[in-house]
Structure 1
Amino acid sequence: MILHADADAFFASVEQRDDPRLRGRPMVVAHEVVACPSYEARALGIHAGMPLRQVQRRWPDVLVTGYRSEAYEEASALLFDLFRRFTPLVEPGSMEEAFLDVTDRDRGDVTGMAYALRAAARTEVGLPVSVGAGSTKLMAKLASRRAKPDGVVVVDAELEARVRPRLRLDELWGVGPMSYEKLHAAGLFVVSDLQGLSEDDLKRVVTTAMARRLVSIARGTDDATVRLPGPRRSVSASRSMPSTRTRSKVVAVLDECVGRAIARVAALDEPARLPARLEVLVRYDDGTQVLERGPLDVPTLDADTLRGAAVELLDRTGYEWDGRGVTMVGVTLPLPTPPSPPSPRPASRS
């Protein structure tokens, strides 16, 4: 069985944990744009991506905190330490969620483990974590969605047999809006509509990979393998903002992203893996994204060097003269593959 553990309103929950004045009150973590609203704020209709100015104009009593990356990264580390106490088989989904393979652990008491994990997260980390359990990653993730906020949902074999055929295709993990539009146009709306269709049938509607995934979901043979993370291939940081072309605002956000990316690489504690390249991503207010990448003169984590290189790549996007407003800036530091351990030498023959 698979558990999917997901911290509720992660950034906001960390802020409410650390500041008692925020608890039980509508609040948002934001810097010009809402990064994470608390559940109290969500009840008002506030959602991530909303301009902060709009929130403050419409809901003047909503409390606002800034983004504290170090606090969130520390809370994430504590959560994952907790996850690995329940099982060594942990696959991160993001900094606040993961899949855990708990097959045959704790005498097979999946429900007991789910409740114990939720309680330990509240007691030891101080955060609400919703936990879903199922035979596959899909079922576990759907269960944790149903469990929110701060709950537990276990999908056993009997419940899965009833629920799986009725799952809407647009709520399946990995089925995006474009794929769903094609499935909808073909008269396919729920998993039971896929019964009797082969991979070749579905390849006429969606991509080969999506067709293969949908067939496995219809048969109940979708992914149940928890994959341990390998060495990080890259580290990224990004931030949304209200639409702007003002250079000082865009560069300030870029500088912040570079600083956060540097801190994340440094936290890996792998001094030999310094970035030799840099990527800068700009998203415009029509949803279009532009990516610029370039090499560094030498592999480095020097902040001034990386900020200078990032600004050069930003300028190459032409955002100041594009006419569209910038709504997001991101930085990626690709990391070299770690060196393989030396092969043992064969014993010499005397």
Structure 2
Amino acid sequence: MDDEGRGGARTGPWAAPVLHADLDAFYAAVEQRDDPRLRGVPVAVGGGVVLAASYEAKRRGVRTAMGGRAALAACPDLVFVRPRFEAYTEASRAVFEIFHATTPQVQGVSIDEAFLDVRGLRRIDAPPVDLAARLRARVRDEVGLPITVGVARTPFLAKVASRVAKPDGLLRVDPDAEDAFLHPLPLEVLWGVGEVTAAKLHVYGLRTAGDVASLPVGVLAGILGPAAGRHLHAVVHGRTPERVVVDRRRSSVGAQRALGRGPHAPADVRAALLGLVDRVGRRLRAGHRTAGTVVLRLRFADYTAATRSRTLPQATASTPELGAAATALLDAAGPLVAARGLTLVGVALTGLAPDTWVQPALPLGGPDAAGLDGALDAVRDRFGAAGVTRASLLHRGEGMAVPLLPE
């Protein structure tokens, strides 16, 4: 009998064929790798806001998205480092090459984590836990970064296993002991249970996955709503999808930059934004994609955030066009930026589509519009008013006369 998944025996080394690989404190780890002076000391990447913190800093109470002053209050010897996104992108690319060398079934989740389905290697390679150990060794030796891997029957359980095993660990969840692993865990460890959901459950004295598992689905639906209640009931009972999704195309591409506390000159913010547009535009073209919408993301000194978007007349991968849309959004948000103080700027491109067939927009507007009008007037003067007409009028029977051209 096959031993893969619930459909067969839930025993044997191949009963848990899904890996979740997650780089540890990624941005901070890259900085510590590249600068020996930072190793073993608390490090935060960012400026006014913490984008990432090393585990030395996390153990002292520093958290992602924490303000710089609060981080220094929690850890006075914290070392702040300006982010180097190009270095992080290069490190991520090297790690993902190792992922794809392990198995073609890779689902990237973010720049620093992915799911790997290795069930197809059953007859030609080592068991999943051995593959995970080999992957960790390769990332450490070839890229110089620590990585944690969870191994389980489903992507959800593998993700939770990697969370429990951090930092720099390896944990396999035996399919026959999933409840014993899952039920003692705090609700906050469960993938998809955020602070709001956990707070609602805490009101009812529910603290662990086991507490939730003891409730009927109808009770959870009453607390969280029908959809969320059914989902969480399935989660705590191990009834989540078993397959890794590898054919889903990315729906967006983005980048952001921490600016630190200002004030910042508008020209400097504009330059930072255009640098981000250069980066995402290059990634867009490398993936043979076009974007239909530009999204501007702003974070302010009072820890609030704002998002603005603009849908383009024509999908494009042109950096000048994308940059023009992004800077127009920034200009429109000028009063908000001035009032709140900007600490982070980001840009995202959405509405992605393949660039196989792209119809460029005709340059019929802008500074050439007057010349176009003059040309159309000249045609009508020579050939009559029906010589040129709008295509939108043709279905109404207007403008159908064909002018006689002079011999």
TM-score using structure 2 length: 0.72
**Structure 1 pair 215–2 and aligned structure 2 pair: CA distance change class (3 A):** same
**Structure 1 pair 168–38 and aligned structure 2 pair: CA distance change class (3 A):** closer
For residue 84 of structure 1, give the secondary structure of its aligned residue in structure 2. helix
Indicate if the aligned counterparts of 1:235 and 1:261 stay in contact, CA closer than 8 A: no
Indicate if the aligned counterparts of 1:6 and 1:97 stay in contact, CA closer than 8 A: yes
Which residue of the other structure, out of 192, 207, 229, is the alignment partner of 2:225?
A: 207
**Residue number in structure 2 paired with 1:149:** 167
Q: 2-side partners of 1:217 and 1:58: how far apart?
A: 35
**Residue number in structure 2 paired with 1:31:** 47
- How far does residue 142 in structure 1 lie from its aligned partner after superposition? 1.8
**Structure 1 pair 156–327 and aligned structure 2 pair: CA distance change class (3 A):** same
For residue 267 of structure 1, give the secondary structure of its aligned residue in structure 2. helix
- The one-letter code matched in structure 2 to 1:273 is R
Which residue of the other structure, out of 131, 141, 144, is the alignment partner of 1:123?
A: 141
Deviations 1:111-162 (A, max 9, x none): 2122111111101111111111122222211211222221111111344231
Indicate if the aligned counterparts of 2:300 and 2:337 stay in contact, CA closer than 8 A: no
- How far does residue 6 in structure 1 lie from its aligned partner after superposition? 0.8
**Residue number in structure 2 paired with 1:259:** 275
**Residue number in structure 1 paired with 2:404:** none
Indicate if the aligned counterparts of 1:130 and 1:150 stay in contact, CA closer than 8 A: yes
RMSD: 3.2
Indicate if the aligned counterparts of 1:283 and 1:290 stay in contact, CA closer than 8 A: yes
**1:292 maps onto 2:291 in alignment:** no
**Residue number in structure 2 paired with 1:137:** 155
Indicate if the aligned counterparts of 2:107 and 2:244 stay in contact, CA closer than 8 A: yes
**Residue number in structure 1 paired with 2:248:** 230
**1:191 maps onto 2:191 in alignment:** no
Q: 2-side partners of 1:168 and 1:54: how far apart?
A: 26
* Count of paired positions: 339
- The one-letter code matched in structure 2 to 1:131 is V
Range with bigger deviation, 132-141 or 300-309: 300-309
For residue 78 of structure 1, give the secondary structure of its aligned residue in structure 2. helix
**Residue number in structure 2 paired with 1:40:** 56
- How far does residue 73 in structure 1 lie from its aligned partner after superposition? 0.8
Q: 2-side partners of 1:28 and 1:182: how far apart?
A: 32
Q: 2-side partners of 1:73 and 1:180: how far apart?
A: 33
Unaligned ranges ≥5, structure 1: 342-350
- How far does residue 66 in structure 1 lie from its aligned partner after superposition? 2.2
- How far does residue 298 in structure 1 lie from its aligned partner after superposition? 5.4
- The one-letter code matched in structure 1 to 2:56 is E
**1:16 maps onto 2:32 in alignment:** yes
Range with bigger deviation, 234-243 or 49-58: 49-58
Which residue of the other structure, out of 34, 49, 63, is the alignment partner of 2:65?
A: 49
Q: 2-side partners of 1:52 and 1:179: how far apart?
A: 28
**Structure 1 pair 309–104 and aligned structure 2 pair: CA distance change class (3 A):** closer
**1:167 maps onto 2:163 in alignment:** no
**1:67 maps onto 2:83 in alignment:** yes
For residue 231 of structure 1, give the secondary structure of its aligned residue in structure 2. coil
**Structure 1 pair 138–272 and aligned structure 2 pair: CA distance change class (3 A):** closer
- How far does residue 79 in structure 1 lie from its aligned partner after superposition? 0.8
**Structure 1 pair 159–315 and aligned structure 2 pair: CA distance change class (3 A):** same
Indicate if the aligned counterparts of 2:253 and 2:348 stay in contact, CA closer than 8 A: yes
**Residue number in structure 2 paired with 1:314:** 330
Q: 2-side partners of 1:42 and 1:8: how far apart?
A: 12
- How far does residue 266 in structure 1 lie from its aligned partner after superposition? 1.5
Which residue of the other structure, out of 256, 259, 265, is the alignment partner of 1:248?
A: 265
- The one-letter code matched in structure 1 to 2:24 is D
Indicate if the aligned counterparts of 1:258 and 1:307 stay in contact, CA closer than 8 A: yes
Aligned sequence identity (%): 37
**Residue number in structure 2 paired with 1:344:** none
**Structure 1 pair 282–30 and aligned structure 2 pair: CA distance change class (3 A):** closer
Indicate if the aligned counterparts of 2:57 and 2:75 stay in contact, CA closer than 8 A: no
Q: 2-side partners of 1:43 and 1:59: how far apart?
A: 9
Indicate if the aligned counterparts of 1:247 and 1:320 stay in contact, CA closer than 8 A: no
- How far does residue 191 in structure 1 lie from its aligned partner after superposition? 2.7
For residue 230 of structure 2, give the secondary structure of its aligned residue in structure 1. helix
**Residue number in structure 1 paired with 2:95:** 79
Q: Looking at CA atoms only, which structure, 1 or 2, has the larger radius of gyration? A: 2
Q: 2-side partners of 1:29 and 1:36: how far apart?
A: 5
**Residue number in structure 1 paired with 2:378:** none
- How far does residue 333 in structure 1 lie from its aligned partner after superposition? 1.6
Indicate if the aligned counterparts of 1:258 and 1:306 stay in contact, CA closer than 8 A: no
**Residue number in structure 1 paired with 2:394:** none
